[in-house]
Structure 1
C-alpha cells in the first residue's frame, strides 16, 4: 500500500469482513445467553450490524469497488475467544459475563476501526463516506455503553453472586452466601 486511498480501501475490506463475521456469531451468542436482557442486546445488535453492512456497501460503491471483505485475524481471534467461553463456562451467569466481555472487545475493535476510517475519509475529502462511518461509529459507542451498563447492573452482579454461593465467600453486597 503506497497511498492513503489504498490503505482506506484495505481497512474498509477488513471491517466489512469483521461485520460479516459478527453477523454469524451474534445469533449464537444470543441463543447461549441466560440473561434475557443480554440476549435482547445481541438481537438488537444483529439488526444494527445489518445496517452497518449496508452503509459499508454504500461506501464501496462510492469508491467504485466491489464490496468484499479481507480476512481479519483480529476479529477471527475475538470470535474464537467468545466461542471458547461459550463452550467452557459451566455456570450460565459466568458464561454471560464472559460473552459480554468478548462482545465489548469486538465493540472496541470496531470503534477503533470506524474512528480511523472516518478520519481518513475526511482527509480524502470523502464527506458522505465520513458521515456514514461516523453514524456507525456512534452506534458502536452506544452499544458499548449499553453493554457496560448491562454488565454493571445485572450480568457481573449475577455472576459474582453465583460464585459467592458456590465458594461460601461474601458477595459484593457484603452478606455471606451459603453454598448450595
Structure 2
C-alpha cells in the first residue's frame, strides 16, 4: 500500500519542532559548560550565548505563530548525542588542562548542527513563501555563525593552554 507523500510545509514544521527542542536542551547545557570552563573568556562566552539562546527560542515561537502552529518541541536525537558527548568531555577532562579545548570543540559541534538546521529552515521558508519567518531564521543563523567564529578564536588560546600545561 502506497503512502501519501508529505508536503514540504509538514517537513518544515517537523524540523522547526526539532530545532525548538534542541534549543531548549542547549539552554540547559550552557550554564553547566560555563560553570566548568577554566578560561574567564570562555565562561563569559557561554553565559552570553545563554541569553542569545533565550532570544532564539522566542524567535522560533514567533515562526511557529507565523505558520499557525503552537510552539512545541519534538525529541531531537542528534542534539542529545552532541550534548552527551559534551557531557563526557566535562566528566573525562574535568581536571585536565585540555578541558577548555574540549568545551570549545563540543560547543562548535552544537553550533554546526544549528547552522545546518537554520540554513535548511531558512531555505524551506523561502520556498514556502514565509517571508517573515525567513527574516527571523536568518537572524538566528547569523548569530549562530558569529558564535562559531567567536569559538574558533577562543579555541586557539584553549588549545595552546592545553599543550603548554601538558608539557
Partner of 2:84: 80
Aligned length: 163
Structure with the bigger RCO (C-alpha within 8 Å, sep 6+) is: 2
2:74 to 45, 70, 73: 70
Partner of 2:158: 155
In the alignment, structure 1 residue 33 sits paired with structure 2 residue 56: no
Structure 1 unaligned segments of length 5 or more: list them. 165-180
Partner of 1:131: 135
Describe the SS at the equivalent of 2:72: coil
Q: 1-side partners of 2:25 and 2:94: how far apart?
A: 25
TM-score by length of 1: 0.89
Partner of 1:142: 146
Partner of 2:16: 12
- Which aligned segments of 4 or more residues in structure 1 are displaced greater than 3 angstroms? none
Q: 2-side partners of 1:92 and 1:35: how far apart?
A: 13
Aligned Cα root-mean-square deviation (Å): 0.9
Indicate the structure (1 or 2) with the bigger Cα radius of gyration.
1
Structure 2 unaligned segments of length 5 or more: list them. none
Describe the SS at the equivalent of 1:123: helix
